[in-house]
Amino acid sequence: MIGERGLARYRTIIPRWREFVDACTRPLPVTIRVNTLRASPRDVRDRLTRKGFSLIPIAWSEDLFRVETPRVSKTIEHWLGMFYIQEAVQTLPVRVLSPQPGETILDMAAAPGGKCTHIASCMRNRGALIANEPVGKRQPSLMANINRLGVLNTTVTSYRGESFPMHARFDRVLLDAPCSAEGTLRKESTLRDGATRSAIARLSRLQQRLILRAYDLLKPGGTLVYSTCTFAPEENEGTVSHLLSKRDALLDQITLPFPAERGIIAWNDEEYAPEVARCARIYPHQIDSGGGFIARLRKPAR
Ligand code: SAM
């Protein structure tokens, strides 16, 4: 059931509401992202197929497969870091970030490391990646994933993102923000009622501080990707509008490899910066995965 007091408040902004509700109550498909630092998509597909797993390619990404057979985490290929079990929607922010070998990149909120290890594989382990995670109990999983996937260009730090030191500037920053996580409701059924208003308000205040620091840490001409796994406009378009009102950031139009919804420019009594229509909203019924929001911003080159 989708609770009337929670997610139903999005009824006017989520297209094909009935399909959305149906998708939210179906189990989340298991997908794996091939770690190209360790193996090719063909290696992984052949090895797992020989072991009896059924792998279905995801049309819009050659590194992604849907796995129909349970227990893929128990294979030697998983332990060797040849793939990472990751929701398809969670691979999109790094795709939009487009990391390049040799760059200097900050992943400001990194644990457990799904996107950090993806960034490192796009960088082909060249350049410097800072994986920041302030919550101590989440750091072991981040470090374990970095080791398991053979990531060699990464240093782990533990600052609160909003006070990350300003000693260095980055070519790209990913802020995959702490959020109310409503888009993960297919694996966490307690979220089907949506997040509480007080949690959303608290998180959006934190996100506003984080996005300002993330932007300030960019080199001129640098790129910031802001992503969440929630539907709440206060945490998505609201946070991006806050940055646009405080800094000279440029917001890019996002194009994904499948049709996605645009950011919304008004919600209840709130109006957001009109440019936020360039952001992307992804819903579970549109790609049979979780939900999310992505914005890509640039700092003007001087
Ligand atoms: N990017 C990660 C991945 O793909 O595996 C998921 C990140 S999760 C959505 C958000 C993370 O932000 C959590 O690990 C949380 O502990 C961390 N976090 C919480 N408060 C933070 C803060 N003030 N600064 C930076 N990160 C914070």
Q: Is the CB of 115 under 6 A from ligand 1?
A: yes
pLDDT of residue 302: 80
Are 32 and 84 contacting, i.e. CB atoms less than 8 angstroms apart?
yes
**CATH number for 114:** 3.40.50.150
Q: Where are the alpha helices (DSSP H) in the chain?
A: 17-25, 41-50, 76-79, 92-97, 114-122, 139-148, 197-216, 237-246, 284-287
Cα distance between the two ends of the chain:
52
Are the CB atoms for 75 and 102 separated by under 8 Å? no
Instruction: Flag whether 61 is in a domain.
Output: no
pLDDT of residue 4: 43
Considering only CA atoms, give the Rg of the chain.
19
Of residues 24, 116, 229, 279, which has the active-site annotation? 229
23 domain-assigned: no
Beta carbon of 123 within 6 Å of any ligand 1 atom: no
- How many A from CA of 70 to the centre of ligand 1? 28
Give the number of domains in the chain.
Answer: 1
Instruction: Tell me whether residue 285 is in a domain.
Output: yes
The closest alpha carbon to 133, from 160, 106, 93, belongs to 160
Residue 254 backbone dihedrals phi, psi, to 5 degrees? -95, 130
Of 80, 36, 79, 38, give the one whose Cα is nearest residue 61: 36
- What's the pTM value of the predicted model, to 2 decimals? 0.97
Is 24 a known active-site residue?
no
Q: Whose CA is nearest to atom 23 of ligand 1?
A: 160
Point out the residues of the chain with pLDDT beneath 50: 4
Distances (CA, A) of 57 to 45, 65, 256, 299: 9, 5, 17, 36
Q: Is the CB of 138 under 6 A from ligand 1?
A: yes
The residue whose CA has the least distance to atom 19 of ligand 1 is 178
Contact status, residue 82 vs residue 44, Cβ threshold 8 Å? yes
pLDDT of residue 7: 84
For residue 115, the tally of other CB atoms under 10 A from its CB is 25
**Domain contains 3:** no
SS3 19: helix
- 62 domain residue, yes or no: no
- The pLDDT of residue 183: 86
CA of 54 to the centre of ligand 1 (A): 32
- Whether the CB of 146 sits within 6 Å of ligand 1: no
**pLDDT value, residue 3:** 52
Domain that holds residue 144: 89-298
Give 143-171 as a DSSP string: HHHHHHTT--SEEEE---GGG---SS-EE
Distance 135 CA to ligand 1 centre (A): 8
Q: Flag whether 221 is in a domain.
A: yes
User: Of 84, 92, 135, which is best to mutate to test ligand 1, by the most ligand atoms within 8 angstroms of its C-beta?
Assistant: 135
| Protein residue closest via CA to atom 24 of ligand 1 | 161
Q: What confidence score (pLDDT) does residue 1 get?
A: 52
Within-domain flag for 79: no
Dihedral pair phi/psi, residue 143, rounded to 5°: -70, -35
CA 10/CA 17 separation, integer angstroms: 9
CA 149 / ligand 1 centre spacing (Å): 20
115 CA closest ligand 1 atom index: 4
Q: Does 241 map to a domain?
A: yes
Q: What does the DSSP 8-state code read for residue 174?
A: E
